[in-house]
Amino acid sequence: MRLDFHECEEKGLLRPAPPSKENAGKSIEKAKALVAEAESDYNNRTFSSCLLLSYGAMFHSARALLLKDGYREKSHACIGRYLEEKYVKAGKLEQRWVDLFDRFRDLRHTDLYDLEFRAGIREAGDSLATVKIFVERMKKRV
């Protein structure tokens, strides 16, 4: 069952916090570093690592918006709900980017926990191409 924004708040999975442009900037910088590591992993054909690091960069760049706005997350899924509520509904971000965040969050989960799945060149390449644009889109909103 997918929670919506208000359920994420009610369950304490999204909580108010002091807004911090400084921490938002640090989260963007961490995202950029993770993209560089993901690219290295892709070039070294370590595709699962590339996928995991690409998602980590998406997480940190999306999280930067929460930090800037004065929120804290306790759920990766609720970050997507926050983006929908505060950015997509306000016309500040296209739904496509939230859908991609959710897609790669699910793929990361599968890669970590499914005993028969292992990310390949296609998944790694898709995640790397997407994350480079994703981080830049989030950075513009910080």
CATH of the domain at 75: 1.20.120.330
Domain of residue 78: give its range.
5-12+19-141
Q: What per-residue confidence (pLDDT) applies to 96?
A: 97
CA distance 66 to 21: 10
CA distance 85 to 105: 18
- Does the model's pTM come out above 0.85? yes
| pLDDT beneath 70: ranges in the chain | none
Q: Distance from CA of residue 34 to its chain's centroid?
A: 12
Number of structural domains the chain divides into: 1
